[in-house]
Amino acid sequence: NAGVTQTPKFRILKIGQSMTLQCTQDMNHNYMYWYRQDPGMGLKLIYYSVGAGITDKGEVPNGYNVSRSTTEDFPLRLELAAPSQTSVYFCASSSRTGEYQPQHFGDGTRLSIL
């Protein structure tokens, strides 16, 4: 059982480049999330999805886009990379059967914008 898988693990981008961070989960969870973690700061929610075809903005969505065409996949796209987007990005998933269930996290993508 792989859980939440993120690719790539590391990436260096130049300012203005674009890229897609991949996230897939095999737990049939309906909820999926993207967070960023900056040094000394708590995790911030970028975007989330409550099911295929449904996405919504989190706390820090500017500069990012998402899509959710399947239950399993929730890619995050950076269109014009900026140095402020240097961070560690985590994807998470969870289910909700009445109560919210714990979120399961991937191992992260470490992204540097130079």
Partner 1 sequence: KQEVTQIPAALSVPEGENLVLNCSFTDSAIYNLQWFRQDPGKGLTSLLLIQSSQREQTSGRLNASLDKSSGRSTLYIAASQPGDSATYLCAVRGFGNEKLTFGTGTRLTIIP
- Three-class SS of residue 84? helix
CB of 54 to partner 1, least distance (A): 11
The residues pairing with 110 across neighbouring beta strands, listed in sequence order, are: 10, 88
Q: Please, which of residues 47-106 interact with partner 1 by CB under 8 A?
A: 48, 50, 56, 58-59, 90, 92, 99-106
Strands, sheet with 19-25, edge to edge from the N-terminal-most edge strand? 4-7, 19-25, 76-78, 64-66
Q: Are strands 87-94 and 31-37 parallel, antiparallel or unpaired?
A: antiparallel
Which residue, 67 or 104, is less far from partner 1 as judged by CB?
104
CB of 16 to partner 1, least distance (A): 28
Which two tokens mark 90? Answer: 């985590």
CB of 63 to partner 1, least distance (A): 18
Picking from 97, 81, 103, the residue whose alpha carbon sits closest to that of residue 35 is: 103
CB of 101 to partner 1, least distance (A): 8
Binding site residues, partner 1, CB under 8 A? 4, 31, 33, 40-45, 48, 50, 56, 58-59, 90, 92, 99-108
